[in-house]
């Protein structure tokens, strides 16, 4: 027990001596404070660089993921368009004309309220149906609702 007390007294004495030395030599104390401040600044800079690297890596990972998702979405859209073209090829002339009439009506009546991606998809369907009818040599009709202005 006396050894522990002696250790505490020694540490306390060393701290008191250091404090006294700082008071006696203010120039040395200022140098010491400067060194501590520089070390803190270096540590802060290193932490900032590490944080920036982590943020950059995370942003790159997100960009790659978004790119892969966009590519997959585009491939699915192309596959869906190919499936539509195949389906139109298997339809009779009357069925295809009726499908074109319905899609053209949908496109002309909801143009103002339809989302841009849905409008584009609908326009692609109309173009594919028209192309199939023209390929077959069927005259593409024009309906009365196409001549009336959209009121919605």
Query: What is the spatial distance between Cα 100 and Cα 47, in angstroms, rounded to a whole number?
Result: 62
DSSP 112: T
* C-alpha 125: how far from chain center: 29
State the pTM of this model: 0.54
Q: Terminal CA-to-CA distance of the chain, rounded, Å?
A: 93
Query: What is the spatial distance between Cα 71 and Cα 131, in angstroms, rounded to a whole number?
Result: 27
Backbone angles phi, psi at 142, to 5 degrees: -120, 130
Query: What is the spatial distance between Cα 62 and Cα 72, in angstroms, rounded to a whole number?
Result: 15
For residues 30 and 126, which has the higher predicted lDDT (pLDDT)?
A: 126
Helices (H) and strands (E) in the chain, counts: 4, 0
pLDDT of residue 152: 47
Q: Tens digits of per-residue pLDDT, 32-51?
A: 888 889 999 999 999 999 99
Highest mean pLDDT among 7-11, 14-18, 66-70, 145-149: 66-70
Q: Tens digits of per-residue pLDDT, 111-147?
A: 677 788 888 888 889 899 999 999 989 888 887 776 6
């Amino acid at each position: 027990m006396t050894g522990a007390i002696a250790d505490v007294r020694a540490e306390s004495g060393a701290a008191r001596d250091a404090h006294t030395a700082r008071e006696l030599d203010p120039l040395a104390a200022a140098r010491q404070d400067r060194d501590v401040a520089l070390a803190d600044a270096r540590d802060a800079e290193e932490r900032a660089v590490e944080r920036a690297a982590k943020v950059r890596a995370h942003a790159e990972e997100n960009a790659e993921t978004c790119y892969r998702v966009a590519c997959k979405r585009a491939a699915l859209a192309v596959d869906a368009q190919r499936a539509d073209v195949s389906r139109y090829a298997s339809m009779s002339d009357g069925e295809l004309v009726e499908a074109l009439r319905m899609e053209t009506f949908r496109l002309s009546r909801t143009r103002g309220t339809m989302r841009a991606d849905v409008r584009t998809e609908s326009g692609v369907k109309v173009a594919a149906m028209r192309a199939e009818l023209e390929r077959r040599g069927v005259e593409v009709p024009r309906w009365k609702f196409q001549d009336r202005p959209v009121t919605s």
